[in-house]
């Protein structure tokens, strides 16, 4: 195994490009060995952080101040808008009239006043078409529609506050949906009659076991285990340092492309999203097509990793991996791909390399990765200065962002699918747990170091420093416009983590040839889209550096849709930058097998 690779002395992240001193992107952090927090101005805020961390345990790490400001902004503007009040009162009366008329109309002649959204599956069972269940569901949907108008269309409310109030209103309504209760759900009542009530008994026992496991802090059982059922593509650990293990996958033929491929996954989850089961492993797919694939496997941080920075991730992750690949293969050029947050880090590294005249990259691929965070998707509901400061307190106390804290945010964003539907299936209907390799991977979460995550939230989400050429890498600013290697950017159509229109912003921010691929599916399932998958499609077009800009909506309307997986299109693009065929790199003796040790850390 190659020796440990560590960066040199860490630059102070506080000086800006001009050398003056400024606050650390708004973050409070523990520096060196001192066990007290430092913020701009040098003041200590130990008591503040202790109090906020305690409050966070009571509120699920949601800032009461952020929620209060959002509600106050909405309520004040609504009180100052008599026309809006009149409009909402009129809508309420008309809604009641529509519902009462619907009650009085025979079932065969009734037309539903409201149709659920396509993703809302709560009332799809035919049992909901009978009385009185159809009236209950329509009354709920009419209330949901009214509250959406009331919270999202008040003049003068800050867009972020309007989104937060709308989100909170939706969560509160979802709590009282008729699908959640035995007395108002005909599907549950049918199951009670069929099982003699045992579905409720078994569901209650399952809920008790789940609650005990949650209170005890026990991780959810993962049935697809790395190295056994998933992450089984043969390979070796060819380099290790305190932050990554670098995996190299074994070639399957006598020759490979001379330009190796480095994949940088997000460290918010484990790398094997790209190496799931053999039939849907992107790594296996690429290896079988003659690519020498290297994969970064991130360490799951502990409390003593609290001071790892974003620049540590760049140096110990991307830079250290590139150094090792060059040393092992002798390649002068490397293709690099980054997924999600790993793609953002890769873009930062590529901009720093271009700034420093490091020409080792042959191309860069960004898979569902953002570089501009002005429209970062639904996660922005949990990200403002108040909320981030509140979250920092929890991270300061623990040294990291816990997996359960991240999981809670994602579950709230998709509460119908991940909270209420699961409660209905497992606790009321007593249906067996649905398992798949992707769902099992989703439960195998990781932690985020305190200082790194604080920098990430402040510099990227809150300040959007990368898109505005103010992001510091190695103590100096980087600009995406310096990147001159070909780029392939992949967005997924229904992505709620990295919306495709946000991913598309790489085009106006760089001055190089960009191939943009838009594929069906969401953030994970859209990327994990092997050939042969049903109901898959994609669009692809090339934007040359001197082409006029086309906005994403016109791009969507103009570019033809192609059936099937986007993987072959990306492989064809990679091949154009992968060089001729050469013998595979020599094996490295005395190396551990993939997937290594870091992926197994809990």
Token digits for 589? Answer: 């003796």
Distance CA 435, CA 457 (A): 32
Question: DSSP secondary structure string, 474-514?
Answer: TTEE--GGG--S-EEEEEETT-SSS-HHHHTTHHHH--S-E
Residue 342: enclosing H or E segment and its boundaries? Answer: helix 341-355
Q: What three-state secondary structure class fits 276? A: coil
- CA-based radius of gyration for the chain: 26
Token digits for 239? Answer: 């380099």
Distance CA 153, CA 165 (A): 11
Is 175 an active-site residue? no
- CB–CB of 505/534 below 8 Å? no
Catalytic annotation, pick one of 76, 175, 340, 488: 340
For 340-486, where are the E strands, in sequence order?
361-367, 400-401, 448-449, 472-473, 476-477
Token digits for 251? Answer: 């070639």
Beta-carbon neighbour count of residue 258 at 10 Å? 17
Sign of the Cα pseudo-torsion (162, 166, 169, 171, in order):
negative
For residues 358-391, b (16+ Cβ closer than 10 Å) or e, as one string? eebbbbbbbbbbbbbbeebbbbbbbbbebbbbbb
Count, residues in the chain: 602
β-pair partners for 244: 298
- Residue reference for tokens 């460290």: 267
What residues are annotated to the active site?
Answer: 340
């Amino acid at each position: 195994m190659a020796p440990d690779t560590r960066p040199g002395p860490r630059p102070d992240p506080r000086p800006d490009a001009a050398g003056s001193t400024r606050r650390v992107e708004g973050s409070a952090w523990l520096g060196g060995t001192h066990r007290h927090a430092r913020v701009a101005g040098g003041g200590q805020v130990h008591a503040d952080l202790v109090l906020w961390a305690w409050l966070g345990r009571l509120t699920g790490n949601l800032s009461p101040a952020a929620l209060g400001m959002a509600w106050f902004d909405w309520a004040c503007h609504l009180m100052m808008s008599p026309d809006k009040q009149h409009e909402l009162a009129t809508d309420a009366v008309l809604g009641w009239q529509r519902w009462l008329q619907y009650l009085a109309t025979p079932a065969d002649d009734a037309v539903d006043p409201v149709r659920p959204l396509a993703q809302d599956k709560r009332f799809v069972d035919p049992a909901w078409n009978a009385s009185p269940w159809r009236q209950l569901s329509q009354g709920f949907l009419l209330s949901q529609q009214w509250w959406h108008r009331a919270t999202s269309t008040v003049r003068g409310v800050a867009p972020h506050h309007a989104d937060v109030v709308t989100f909170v209103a939706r969560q509160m309504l979802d709590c009282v949906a008729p699908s959640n209760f035995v007395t108002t759900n005909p599907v549950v009542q049918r199951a009670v009659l069929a099982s003699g009530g045992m579905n409720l008994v078994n569901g209650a026992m399952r809920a008790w076991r789940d609650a005990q496991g949650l209170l005890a802090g026990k991780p959810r059982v993962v049935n697809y285990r790395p190295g056994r059922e998933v992450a089984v593509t043969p390979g070796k650990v060819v380099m290790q340092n305190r932050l990554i293990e670098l995996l190299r996958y074994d070639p399957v033929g006598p020759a490979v492309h001379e330009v190796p491929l480095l994949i940088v996954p997000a460290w918010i989850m484990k790398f094997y999203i790209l190496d799931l089961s053999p039939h849907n492993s992107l790594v296996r797919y690429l290896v079988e097509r003659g690519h020498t694939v290297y994969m970064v496997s991130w360490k799951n941080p502990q409390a003593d990793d609290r001071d790892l920075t974003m620049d540590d991730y760049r140096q110990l992750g991307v830079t250290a991996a590139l150094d090792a690949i060059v040393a092992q293969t002798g390649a002068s050029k490397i293709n690099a791909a980054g997924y999600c947050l790993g793609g953002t880090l890769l873009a930062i590294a590529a901009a720093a390399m271009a700034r420093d005249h490091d020409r080792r990259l042959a191309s860069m691929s960004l898979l569902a990765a953002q570089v501009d965070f002005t429209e970062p998707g639904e996660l922005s509901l949990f990200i403002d200065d108040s909320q981030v400061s509140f979250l920092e307190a929890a991270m300061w106390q623990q040294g990291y962002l816990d997996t359960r804290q991240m999981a809670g945010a994602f579950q709230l964003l998709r509460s119908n699918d991940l909270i209420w539907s699961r409660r209905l299936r497992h606790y009321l209907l007593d249906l067996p747990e649905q398992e798949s390799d992707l769902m099992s991977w989703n439960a195998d979460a990781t932690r985020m170091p305190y200082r790194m995550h604080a920098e990430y939230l402040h510099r990227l989400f809150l300040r959007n420093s990368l898109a505005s050429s103010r992001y510091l890498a190695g103590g100096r600013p980087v600009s995406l416009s310096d990147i001159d290697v070909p780029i392939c950017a992949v967005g997924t159509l229904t992505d709620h983590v990295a919306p495709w229109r946000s991913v598309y912003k790489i085009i106006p921010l760089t001055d190089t040839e960009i191939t943009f691929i838009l594929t069906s599916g969401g953030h994970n399932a859209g990327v994990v889209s092997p050939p042969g998958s049903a109901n898959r499609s994609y669009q692809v077009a090339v934007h040359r550096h001197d082409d006029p800009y086309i906005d994403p909506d016109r791009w969507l309307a103009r570019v033809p849709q192609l059936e099937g997986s986007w993987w072959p299109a990306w492989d064809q693009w990679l091949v154009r930058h992968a060089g001729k065929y050469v013998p595979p790199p020599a094996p490295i003796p005395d190396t551990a097998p993939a997937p290594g040790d870091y992926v197994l850390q809990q």
